[in-house]
Amino acid sequence: MRNWILCSCIALALPCFASAQQPAAADKAAQSTPSKNATAQPKLADLLEAKVRAAWEAFKNRDKKGYAAFLTDDFQAVEADGDGEHAKLHVLFEVEHSMYTDYLLQLFQVQQLGAHYAFVTYESTMQFPKGSAVRFKRVFIGELWTNRDGEWKMMRYQETAVR
């Protein structure tokens, strides 16, 4: 009788151990097989970081046409000024009147949100001329980028002041 109970327990427990082992084996197979996204994501992150840096340089140099090339036609921005949403034309007007003299961009993160969208976050520290009301300004930025007709462009811009 004792042997029968022992054999029954082993027979019942065996499938549990077998099913618990299968996901682990599947995880190892998934880890050893490189994903197509694993190589695409770093390339996209590098591409979008380069585009963000180039857009900031165009803005700093008051290159309205150059900056406009990075924006979609339906671009919208919300800046830390508290004035709400700004359309593309308003932002392009700001390019002509840019006051910062230098900037530092850091802490980039890129999250791909599908084949045609990516969310880019980073921090910017801007330096303004001596005698300005504000000498330095730090903002945390989130941007929505979209791939339209094979070209990545900024669709939304949101900045939040960092204290």
Please count the residues of the chain.
163
Residue 14 predicted with pLDDT over 80: no
CATH of domain 36-161: 3.10.450.50
Mean pLDDT score, 15-29: 46
- State the Cα–Cα distance between residues 141 and 138, nearest whole angstrom: 10
**Domain ranges across the chain:** 1-33, 36-161
- State the Cα–Cα distance between residues 162 and 50, nearest whole angstrom: 23
Q: If pLDDT is split at 50, 70 and 90, which confidence band does 79 have?
A: confident
Which pLDDT score is estimated for 121? 96
Specify the residue for token string 């008051």. Answer: 62
Cα angle, residue 67 at apex, residues 98 and 74 outer, rounded to 5°: 110
Task: Extract the tokens encoding 126.
Answer: 């801007």
Task: Extract the tokens encoding 152.
Answer: 């990545």
Predicted confidence (pLDDT) per residue in 80-98, tens digit: 877 788 889 989 988 888 8
Predicted confidence (pLDDT) per residue in 99-151, tens digit: 888 899 999 999 999 989 999 999 999 888 888 777 888 999 999 999 998 89
- State the Cα–Cα distance between residues 80 and 160, nearest whole angstrom: 5
- State the Cα–Cα distance between residues 60 and 58, nearest whole angstrom: 5
